[in-house]
Amino acid sequence: MSPTTQSTGFPADEHANNKKQFIMKKYLGTLLLFCVAISANAQLLWRISGNGLTEPSYIMGTHHLASLSIKDSIQGLQTALDHTRQVYGELKMSEMQDQTKAAALMQKYMTTETDTTFKSLFTDEEYELINKCSKENLMFDIAMLPKVKPAFLSNNLIVILYMKHVGGFNPQEQLDTYFQTQATEKGKKTEGLETMDFQMDLLYNQSSLKRQAETLLCFINNIDENIELTKKLTSAYMAQDLAAMEKISDGELCSMTPQEKTNMIDNRNQKWVKALPEIMKTAPTFIAVGALHLPGENGVLSLLKKQGYTVEPMN
């Protein structure tokens, strides 16, 4: 009887057992790699050490539409906050809460300085569609401010529509504000990597009025799909999955052009990473920036590693 056909002979049994062991080892190895990949992606908080730092600093990805409750599920967050002596965000939030300053900047950037009116950027039918959406959701009739920039409506509609369709979100309770408020109460320094003036200019002047009009119209014509994408993006954030957030963002219906993405994400990452070494040398620092600035080849995590830092998830 051939060793390969007998049911009880040792050669065949040994071959079968070896094959089973190989398959099991391969399966367990694949499962282990999968778990490691999930662990690596499902992280919002990272420790930065090495490259001359005597004490570690930490970087955390935030999301403006996330519930503040996420802080209770981020492993190592309290340790990171307790062991740092200063907090840096994209902005110094206390300055953003200065209503006089914020109103002056908004007035400076939200309207055009040319003869171009909002209405002239659209057909009559498009204008009526947009104005109807604005009045229903922002309680704002565009005729009251005829030179308003389309980007003003786009930026505000995203937040308002999300609030209307997703319960439990309070724009007054954001992680960026929470971290800096906690630091101030404990006598720690708070600072911003950018100024309000810089961010306003980025939001309202980086694209032409024509491009802003195209983006706004795209958003309103695909409003349900955009709301769902925003929900998915926030769900991915609550699951602490940076890779999923990056994928969802890249698949947005009215996504940024490559140049807009360079201006909004990549250039700012480069600027921050140039400034962070000196900041972290001064004192152990807790850094909080938008989560989509962290992943990818041009992300802050990768750029810090290229500078020689050890960047590892908090477990």
Each of the 315 residues of the chain gets a pLDDT tens digit; together they read 333 333 333 344 444 444 444 434 433 333 333 333 333 445 899 999 999 999 999 999 999 888 899 999 999 999 999 999 999 999 999 888 888 888 888 889 999 989 999 999 999 999 999 999 999 999 999 999 999 999 999 999 988 988 887 766 777 788 999 999 999 999 999 999 999 999 999 999 999 999 999 999 999 999 999 889 989 999 999 999 999 999 998 877 788 889 999 999 999 999 999 999 999 999 999 999 999 999 999 999 999 999 999 999 997
Main-chain phi, psi angles of 310, to 5 degrees: -90, 120
Query: What is the rounded distance in angstroms from the CA atom of residue 93 to the CA atom of residue 87?
Result: 11
Burial degree of 45 (CB within 10 A; 0-12, 13-18, 19+):
buried
**pTM for the model:** 0.84
Which residue, among 55, 74, 285, has the nearest Cα to 175 in the 3D structure? 74
* Structure-block tokens of residue 177: 């504000």
Query: What is the rounded distance in angstroms from the CA atom of residue 229 to the CA atom of residue 249?
Result: 8
- Under 8 Å CB-to-CB from 182, ≥6 apart: which residues? 81, 87
Which residue, among 271, 270, 285, has the nearest Cα to 179 in the 3D structure? 285
Q: Looking at residue 31, what is its pLDDT?
A: 32
Instruction: Please state the separation of Cα 289 from the chain's center in Å.
Output: 8
Instruction: Give the bridge partners for 45, in sequence order.
Output: 60
Report the chain's terminal Cα–Cα distance, integer Å: 57
Q: Looking at residue 254, what is its pLDDT?
A: 86
Q: What is the dihedral of CA 180, 185, 191, 195, to 10 degrees?
A: 70
Q: Looking at residue 24, what is its pLDDT?
A: 40
Q: Looking at residue 1, what is its pLDDT?
A: 31
Q: Looking at residue 10, what is its pLDDT?
A: 33
Q: Looking at residue 36, what is its pLDDT?
A: 33
Instruction: Give the bridge partners for 47, in sequence order.
Output: 58, 312
Which residue, among 79, 48, 83, 43, has the nearest Cα to 61 in the 3D structure? 43
Q: Looking at residue 201, what is its pLDDT?
A: 94
Query: What is the rounded distance in angstroms from the CA atom of residue 147 to the CA atom of residue 310?
Result: 49
